[in-house]
């Protein structure tokens, strides 16, 4: 369907549903496989659904609710379904509407708790619920200062994470040192006593300001239900049937809240997969899922193992990865059974260094794009954010768009909130314009400092640009599908997406950590940096921590539908000593009989400066070059440039002109690093131009005449004519 927006697609679906008869309970069951049907018809008493990756768990629970309602067994307003993300809750509501069921409360744990706390707090305490802090970091910084603890931004984030873990685990500051030691907690070099001290100070700062944080919302709801029989009775009278998605991720506070919602009843359905527990650092525990039948004797258990997402080749890797798993979760391991046709074999590739690995992945992305796989259906997943830089550079050098996916929700980002406010203001102004929706949205975004060309930098600058570019891309999608859409209607589309927390997708390769990829899927997934010390991470020392690292890799593998590439590098920098080894988790996954992994072929290396690249050195000072940009231009960043700056500026002007003609970002023609390399080398023939990194065969055939003309004009002096003048 391309980039058709969900809102517009939903409008079409609504019209189509109006012409169809409402589904019946039998229709709902007919769409399910035998195991899903068994789950949907188990309506009495506790039910535990063990659902593997890609087995249709959301389908099973929404059809179960729809069947119960359409069969007259449940009233929709008596159902509370909770999950962990706003988007997942929105997906539940959408699917239920498509099944003809409205009125079911599908919310996140925090949303449900906040709604109840805001309603009952004034009745019990005769005052409004205190406001919620937008971010802990400011209060954590103040608390650390009070305790005379030095903490940079990374340190403040570590302290905030520990405070969150403690609060969702019902751990008080005084008890933190003892209980954190039992849980094997570590936080950026801070000792437990220091963390406990800062934790206590943070609570003082928060109370002084009269604010609550998100963890307090859960605690307030628990306190209201536990301390007020009237509140507990009212909630239990409202909700009779409970469904909990991603149950392997519940924290002690969330489980306590669920127990209080239930009271002495047992009409609860939980859905989860212990092999996907990857958030123990945030207080999640699979113990509640693993011990569900003990807590609820006589509970029904249904196992969903038919994998509708991935090919048999990907599923084989996923199953093999868990074959050596240890610990309690392994006893409840699900064996996936692929339902899709065969696909390509996964690849396992060893590279000499991280730069070579990034270049290899970029080449693979380019090959898949040429085979017809959309860029938005590809992802590069890594263990920690610091690994992204090399892949950003490699993709940019090939003119491949990419987007960084972080933990922060799209519509909560400051730049997105600012842009939405400006869009609403422009829509309210109702100024008549003939420019069209896309131009109007671009004009509004320009007021935030956004330009259509991405910045040369990475990190926060790049992320801000991508956020606003996604809004621009959404406007283009809407305008293409509904040309008559004006700015006010577009704002309505954005507001609907905010309500569902459904971020617009930009056309680019996703770069994300393995944690951030949970719940998502792509046609092609590249798992990179899968070597010892990174997967498992160095600070994973206990058997439990090691097993969680295995589960994290399993989550990464199961994000892939068809294409799966796993790679690692022997050293960090080009020319470094290759002391790394592939992750221990790959021993049972890599093809049998292969002592070493596949290495890049000669053909794959053809795009490099030489097929057997050695240690690159600066052309001026002869020092080793470690950075990808330095290697491209052939000199250290600190060494003076040896090119004609006027020639470089002419190349930049030409690039901008061509980019505007093709309606693509300028870096899609050539990156700045490639232009510098061209100006440094001053090629006089196509063969010389072809040796410059970033000038592939397609760009050579398209741009060689222009570039060589500019170089020739530069050599001839200022009086020469540029290629754009001819």
Would you state the pLDDT for residue 393? 83
Domains 22-112+219-304 and 337-405+508-590 are alike in CATH topology: yes
- Residues 74-123: pLDDT tens digits? 999 999 999 988 878 888 998 999 999 999 999 999 899 999 999 999 99
Q: Is 313 helix (H, G, I), strand (E, B) or coil?
A: helix
Summarize the confidence of residues 654-673 as an average pLDDT. 74
Are the CB atoms for 243 and 82 separated by under 8 Å? yes
Distance CA 446, CA 465 (A): 11
| 607 has pLDDT over 50 | no
Q: Kindly list the domain boundaries of the chain, sorted by start residue.
A: 22-112+219-304, 137-211, 337-405+508-590, 410-500, 645-725
**To the nearest 5 percent, what fractions of the chain are helix, strand and coil?**
55, 10, 35
Domain 645-725 has CATH 1.10.150.80: yes
**Most confident range, picked from 134-148, 502-516, 605-619:** 134-148
**Most confident range, picked from 432-441, 494-503, 552-561:** 552-561
Summarize the confidence of residues 649-653 as an average pLDDT. 86
Residue ranges of alpha helices (H) inside 41-152 are 57-70, 86-98, 109-125, 137-146
Q: In CATH, what is the architecture of 22-112+219-304?
A: 3-Layer(aba) Sandwich (3.40)
- Residues 441-454: pLDDT tens digits? 888 888 888 887 77
Would you state the pLDDT for residue 508? 85
| 613 has pLDDT over 80 | no
| pTM above threshold 0.75 | no
627 — pLDDT class (breaks 50, 70, 90): low
What string of H, E and C letters represents the secondary structure of 565-632?
Answer: EEEEEEECCCCCCCCCCECHHHCCCCCCCCCCCECCCCCHHHHCCCCCCCCCECCCCCCECCCHHHHH
Would you state the pLDDT for residue 618? 67
Would you state the pLDDT for residue 609? 37
Percent of the chain with pLDDT over 90: 38
Distance CA 290, CA 276 (A): 13
Q: Is 86 helix (H, G, I), strand (E, B) or coil?
A: helix
Distance CA 521, CA 171 (A): 35
Summarize the confidence of residues 130-150 as an average pLDDT. 87
In CATH terms, 137-211 corresponds, of 3.30.1540, 1.20.120, 3.30.43, 1.10.10, to 1.10.10
Mean pLDDT value across the chain: 83
665 — pLDDT class (breaks 50, 70, 90): low
| 647 has pLDDT over 90 | no
Distance CA 156, CA 676 (A): 39
Q: Is 230 helix (H, G, I), strand (E, B) or coil?
A: helix
**What's the order of all strands across the beta sheet hosting 105-108?**
105-108, 79-83, 241-244, 268-272, 47-51, 300-304
Match 């693993």 to its residue by tokens. 290
| 306 has pLDDT over 90 | yes
**Most confident range, picked from 158-167, 342-351, 420-429, 620-629:** 342-351
| 643 has pLDDT over 70 | no
Region label for 529, one of left (φ > 0), alpha (ψ between -120 and 50) or beta (otherwise): left
Of residues 200 and 403, more confidently modeled: 200
682 — pLDDT class (breaks 50, 70, 90): confident
- Residues 18-41: pLDDT tens digits? 446 778 889 999 999 999 999 999
Of residues 470 and 267, more confidently modeled: 267
| 184 has pLDDT over 80 | no
659 — pLDDT class (breaks 50, 70, 90): confident
503 forms beta bridges with: none
What value, to the nearest 5°, has the Cα angle with vertex 634 and ends 629 and 640? 90
Would you state the pLDDT for residue 458? 57
Would you state the pLDDT for residue 153? 75
What value, to the nearest 5°, has the Cα angle with vertex 251 and ends 246 and 253? 125
- Could you tell me the fold of the domain covering 337-405+508-590? Rossmann fold (3.40.50)
Q: Which of 275, 346, 337, 340 is nearest to 314 (CA)?
A: 346
Would you state the pLDDT for residue 41? 95
Least reliable range by pLDDT among 16-25, 360-369, 545-554: 16-25
7 — pLDDT class (breaks 50, 70, 90): very low
Would you state the pLDDT for residue 624? 61
| 562 has pLDDT over 60 | yes
């Amino acid at each position: 369907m391309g980039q058709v927006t969900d809102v517009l697609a939903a409008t079409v679906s609504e019209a189509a549903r109006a012409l169809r008869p409402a589904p019946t309970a039998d229709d709902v069951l007919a769409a399910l496989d035998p195991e899903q049907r068994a789950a949907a018809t188990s309506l009495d008493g506790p039910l535990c659904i063990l659902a593997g990756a890609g087995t249709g768990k959301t389908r099973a629970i929404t059809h179960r609710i729809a069947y119960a309602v359409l069969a007259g067994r449940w009233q929709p307003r008596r159902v509370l379904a909770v999950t962990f993300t706003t988007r997942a809750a929105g997906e539940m509501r959408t699917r239920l509407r498509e099944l003809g069921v409205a009125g079911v409360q599908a919310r996140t744990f925090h949303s449900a708790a906040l709604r109840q706390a805001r309603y009952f707090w004034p009745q019990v305490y005769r005052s409004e619920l205190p406001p919620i802090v937008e971010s802990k970091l400011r209060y954590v910084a103040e608390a650390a200062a009070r305790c005379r603890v030095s903490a940079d931004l990374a340190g403040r984030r570590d302290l905030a994470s520990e405070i969150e873990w403690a609060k969702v685990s019902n751990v008080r500051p005084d008890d933190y040192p003892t209980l954190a030691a039992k849980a094997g907690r570590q936080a950026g070099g801070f000792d437990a006593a220091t963390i406990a001290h800062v934790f206590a100070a943070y609570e003082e700062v928060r109370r002084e300001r009269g604010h609550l944080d998100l963890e307090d919302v859960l605690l307030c709801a628990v306190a209201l239900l536990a301390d007020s029989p009237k509140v507990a009775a009212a909630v239990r009278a409202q909700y009779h049937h409970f469904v909990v998605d991603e149950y392997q991720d519940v924290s002690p506070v969330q489980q306590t809240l669920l127990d209080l919602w239930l009271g002495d009843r047992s009409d609860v359905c939980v859905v989860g997969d212990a092999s996907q527990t990857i958030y123990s650092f945030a207080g999640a525990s699979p113990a509640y899922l693993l011990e569900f039948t003990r807590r609820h004797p006589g509970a029904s258990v249904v196992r969903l193992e038919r994998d509708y997402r991935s090919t048999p080749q990907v599923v084989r890797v996923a199953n093999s990865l868990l074959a050596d798993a240890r610990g309690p979760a392994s006893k409840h391991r699900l064996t996936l059974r692929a339902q899709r046709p065969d696909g390509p074999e996964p690849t396992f590739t060893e590279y000499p260094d991280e730069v070579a690995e990034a270049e290899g992945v970029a080449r693979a992305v380019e090959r898949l794009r040429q085979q017809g796989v959309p860029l938005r259906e590809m992802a590069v997943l890594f263990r920690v954010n610091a690994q992204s830089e090399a892949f950003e550079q490699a993709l940019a050098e090939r003119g491949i768009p990419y987007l960084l996916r972080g933990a922060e929700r799209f519509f909560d980002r400051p730049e997105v909130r600012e842009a939405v406010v400006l869009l609403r203001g422009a829509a309210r102004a109702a100024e008549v314009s003939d420019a069209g929706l896309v131009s109007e949205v671009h004009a509004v975004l320009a007021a935030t400092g956004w330009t259509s060309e991405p910045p040369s930098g990475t990190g926060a600058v790049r992320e801000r640009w991508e956020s606003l570019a996604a809004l621009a891309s959404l406007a283009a999608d809407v305008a293409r599908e509904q040309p008559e859409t004006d700015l006010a209607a577009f704002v309505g589309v954005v507001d609907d997406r905010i309500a569902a927390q459904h971020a617009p997708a930009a056309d680019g390769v996703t770069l994300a950590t393995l944690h951030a990829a949970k719940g998502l899927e792509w046609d092609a997934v590249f798992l990179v940096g899968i070597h010892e010390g990174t997967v498992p991470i160095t600070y994973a020392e206990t058997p439990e921590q090691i097993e969680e690292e295995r589960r994290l890799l399993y989550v990464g593998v199961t994000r892939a539908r068809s294409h799966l590439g796993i790679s690692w590098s022997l050293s960090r920098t080009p020319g470094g000593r290759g002391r790394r080894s592939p992750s221990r988790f790959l021993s049972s996954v890599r093809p049998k009989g292969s002592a070493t992994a596949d290495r890049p072929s000669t053909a794959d290396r053809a795009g490099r400066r030489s097929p057997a690249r050695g240690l690159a050195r600066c052309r001026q000072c002869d020092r080793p070059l470690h950075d990808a940009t330095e290697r491209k231009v052939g000199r250290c960043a600190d060494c003076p440039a040896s090119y004609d700056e006027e020639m470089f500026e002419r190349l930049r002007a030409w690039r901008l002109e061509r980019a505007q003609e093709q309606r693509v970002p300028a870096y899609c023609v050539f990156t700045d690093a490639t232009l510098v390399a061209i100006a440094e080398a001053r090629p006089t023939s196509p063969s010389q131009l072809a040796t410059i990194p970033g000038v592939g065969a397609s760009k050579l055939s398209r741009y060689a005449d222009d570039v060589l003309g500019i170089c020739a004009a530069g050599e001839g002096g200022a009086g020469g004519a540029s290629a754009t003048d001819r």
